[in-house]
Amino acid sequence: MNTSTYKIKGMHCASCAGIIERTFKKTEGVTSAEVNYGTETAKVAFDEHKVHAADLSKKIEPLGYSLVLEEDHSKHTGMGQTKTEKLKELSELRTLVLSALPLAAFSIFLMTWDALIQFGVLSPIPEIWMEFFHHLLPLMATYVLFVVGKPYLLGFYRFLRYGKANMDTLIGIGTVAAYLYSFVVTAFEAPLSAYINTEHSYYDVTIVVITFITLGKYLESRSKLKTGDAIEKLLNLQAKTALVIRDGKEVELPIDQVVKGDLIVVKPAGKIPVDGELTEGSSYIDESMVTGEPMPVHKTVGDKVVGGTMNTSGSFTFKASKVGSETMLAHIIKMVEEAQGSKAPIQALADKISSVFVPVVLVFAFVALAVWLSIGTLYLGFSQALSYGLVSFVSILVIACPCALGLATPTAIIVGVGKGAKEGILIKDAATLEKLHKVTTVVVDKTGTITKGKPELISIIKLSGKTDDELLSILASLEKKSEHPIAHAILNAATEKKLSLHTVADFEGIKGKGLKGSIGETTYYVGNEKLIHDLKLTIDSSLIEKETAQGKTPIILATEKEVLAIALVADAIKPEAKEAIAHLHKLGLQVVMLTGDNKNTAAYISKEAGIDEVVAEVLPEDKLNIIKKLQAEGKIVAMAGDGVNDAPALAQADVGIAMATGTDVAIESAGITLLHGDISKLVKAIKLSKITMRGIKQNLFWAFFYNIVGIPLAAGAFYPLFQWLLSPVFAGLAMAFSSVSVVGNSLRLKTKKL
């Protein structure tokens, strides 16, 4: 049994996913199939003895889709097409929309004018202009239908040949019916005038419907363009080459030529190519990609290193233990792919009902025509009944075209996303907003989310008669020559205070303990407790333990004779974090913190920030599993993080929230990005989700209400009582009005306060 995930070409609506999924499930040898429209992927489990991937592709090719069988993730954006192809497609769609919009505006103008003439508000259009429009509209409609509306014609074709119907099918049938009806009454006006009403053509209906729907498709495609960039960014973290020792010589080889057991040399500021174990040398390694922690970790012989992490200082040699798909980075990539490719729990309401809506409307239209021809003939005669029947048939298909339904969600999303951007909240797609207001649990990373993400000097404990500034000046002077990241925190503090630094002589790094240097005639020592013990000086260990338990790193300054001070360096809590968590609690949300940091630091930070629950010393896989566990308990989970290590959890969460101050991978894996790394924006994002979803529901209500009332009216259900029969002209105008009303309601969201 083989379970594989494939990219799909040709998907352009959510209903397509359902068609492909049902087709796969009916194929012999396939045990399960899950198609995701958001990522345009299909996860299929099948028996390789009965069916192959190529066979699956052939099954859907007649329907206009195909599988991408090559496995080259570096070429893909996560949407089933290369980035070049997707950008080209988007550009072509934009050109079509821009070419059709003026035609639609002109058609709406004529429809409105015609309607106002019938009500006696405006005078009739001069005959010469009527004749001109009589010839112009067919040309405009032909271009829009056969060029801009080509996908909908294909949807109509697939329905006729394979019986596969989606929302595009209805659009295709309605617009084709309006076009053909108009063509017939225009071309054969004289002979048909004795049998049916030939006064009106409905080319304008074809133009308006297709243009509005295509505009919605363009906006949707543009928002989806960056869906799969996370994988591409993760791949870019990997080193392209490795300096391998072969036959006693250092040889630079492509990463794919590295094998287990190879000895690899890593220079200062170099990227570690694969996973392995140090055999010679030592250095400080930036492992923030894996742990999320900003502090580089000291590695020596026997310690493990991870591919994709950065060497910050010394040179060393390590033995490759995991290469290719076995590395931790490859594992993270796989987890992100699987989480992104899983099927979204919530789909757009319009797409959910399409499988029922389309055939019902079609049946209703044909039934209406049949009723008019059978019963109507008895009372009105065949000519009148045929005329009314054709008008009803076209009107039903036109008024049922889901333009308002198609615009209900994207217009509200566009406004909501725009409003969010002004507030510093970047939202990737509609599904994210749809889920955010239902969130019950917020999971946060520590570093860069709750804390600032970089070490800084918190305080100095004086143990001598020197002032804070004097002590800081000495510390900064010594740390200036150090490569340790804590040195930057000390130097930054001195720079902020504009302190002058001393000349340091006889500088020496003391491996694993600290450093020493002379200022004037005094030799100073800076380091940890081990260094102080070597100097045979005494220090209050309980004081050190207390500060360490609070997540602070103590830096001890001493001379050969006495301990002068303890500088405390830590990753400080963001000022806005406490308030944000308090607001989340007011919204009834549980807040959980996951961190790769030690338990003492995590416990102190969580207590200070007011967090409900904390899980420390976790790896990327642990974070992912905890998210899955919470989801299994029935909770809707939002995950906020900023590191590569957070990417799998961000992708798995119902709503992923990235700090813009974090990595590109985290940002691309998340559905929401908070600018400036401000977690307080999360509260506004939740409120934005609520008002946007309220607007969408209002839009959908009016769109459905319009169809519920409009379809029976178009069918002539009220004709026996009131002689009401909806003309396709008014059906088209009503369709346009319903779209305008939906857009107008969406624009109201701009005035709402968060």
Active site residues: 445
Strands (E), 197-281: 241-246, 249-254, 263-266, 275-281
Per-residue burial over 461-480, b = 16 or more CB atoms within 10 Å of its CB, e = otherwise: bebeebeeeebbbbbbbbbb
Q: Which residues, in sequence order, are bridge partners of residue 283?
A: 299
Cβ atoms within 10 Å, residue 579: 15
**Nearest partner of 211 among 736, 742, 745, 609, judged by Cα:** 736
Collapsing DSSP to helix, strand or coil, 246 comes out as strand
Six-digit token string for 6: 């494939």
Collapsing DSSP to helix, strand or coil, 440 comes out as coil
Q: How far apart are CA 620 and CA 646, in angstroms?
A: 6
Q: How far apart are CA 746 and CA 430, in angstroms?
A: 14
DSSP labels, 682-719 = HHHHHHHHHHHHHHHHHHHHHHHHHHHHHHHHHHTTTH
Q: How far apart are CA 365 and CA 714, in angstroms?
A: 9
CB 40 within 8 A of CB 102: no
DSSP labels, 261-328 = T-EEEE-TTPBP-SEEEEEEE-EEEE-HHHH--SS-EEE-TT-EE-TT-EE-S--EEEEEEE-GGGSH
**Residue 540: partners with Cβ closer than 8 Å, 6 or more residues away:** none
Q: How far apart are CA 535 and CA 556, in angstroms?
A: 12
Contacts 24+ apart (CB under 8 A), 103-110: 103/140, 103/143, 103/144, 103/207, 103/211, 104/144, 104/207, 104/208, 104/211, 104/212, 106/140, 107/137, 107/140, 107/203, 107/204, 107/207, 107/208, 108/204, 108/208, 108/736, 110/137, 110/204
Residue 159: φ, ψ to 5°: -65, -45
CA 462 to chain centre: 50
Q: How far apart are CA 87 and CA 225, in angstroms?
A: 8
CB 290 within 8 A of CB 221: no
Distances (CA, A) of 90 to 12, 86, 221, 230: 12, 6, 7, 20
Collapsing DSSP to helix, strand or coil, 408 comes out as helix
**Residue 398: partners with Cβ closer than 8 Å, 6 or more residues away:** 174, 177, 178, 202, 205, 209, 714, 728, 731, 732, 735
DSSP labels, 600-658 = HHHHHHHHHHT-SEEE-S--HHHHHHHHHHHHHTT--EEEEE-SGGGHHHHHHSSEEEE
CB 730 within 8 A of CB 738: no
Torsion of CA 43, 48, 53, 56, to 10 degrees: -80
Collapsing DSSP to helix, strand or coil, 524 comes out as strand
CB-based burial label for 315 (10 Å; 0-12, 13-18, 19+): middle
Q: How far apart are CA 704 and CA 357, in angstroms?
A: 11
Q: How far apart are CA 486 and CA 174, in angstroms?
A: 69
Q: How far apart are CA 12 and CA 28, in angstroms?
A: 26
CB 36 within 8 A of CB 8: no
**Nearest partner of 215 among 168, 153, 143, 148, judged by Cα:** 148
CB 671 within 8 A of CB 649: no
